[in-house]
Amino acid sequence: MSADGCGVCVTFGNCGDSECTGYRCVIVKAGQDWECSECGKTIKKGEKYELASWFYADGSGHGNCKTCIVCAEIAAAFMCDGRWHSGSFWDHMEDSYPKLTTTCFDRLKTVAAKTELQRRWMEWKGLAGSLTQ
């Protein structure tokens, strides 16, 4: 278990069999609508989002991910080996839901991130409808 008592640690690689080079990750403002590479929600023109880009060291090409601010905050809080971008964070996070506790929510700073993680966790537990009834 981690020092904060949460015990959730999501790990996975980013570049598959190729090593990445020229990696950068910045927060930018959308000049047009984009789709979040993690949750699929629309990042509307004018909203801030996380842009990660890289080149494959073997020269086979490049990649990039556009991640909404909410998904970026949650991923940064729970990824133990640094922030990686692959478009599959939520698939990997689902494996950690059995270990998730309310203490884990203290890793998040914004209400939006806490709300989204709680929604997904409650849905996984089969309790999604019980909050509105």
Express each pLDDT in 74-111 by its tens digit: 999 998 877 777 788 998 898 899 999 989 999 999 99
CA distance 115 to 97: 15
Is residue 127 situated within a structural domain? Answer: yes
Is residue 40 situated within a structural domain? Answer: yes
Is residue 118 situated within a structural domain? Answer: yes
Domain boundaries, position 34? 20-131
Is residue 1 situated within a structural domain? Answer: no
Q: Provide the 10 A C-beta neighbour count for residue 10.
A: 20
CA distance 62 to 5: 38
The domain that holds 41 is classified in CATH as 3.30.1740
Is residue 65 situated within a structural domain? Answer: yes
Structure tokens at 91: 């698939």
Distances (CA, A) of 16 to 1, 39, 41, 86, 120: 28, 21, 25, 10, 27
Is residue 69 situated within a structural domain? Answer: yes
Low-confidence residues of the chain, pLDDT below 70?
1-3, 12-20, 128-133
**How many independent structural domains does the chain possess?**
1
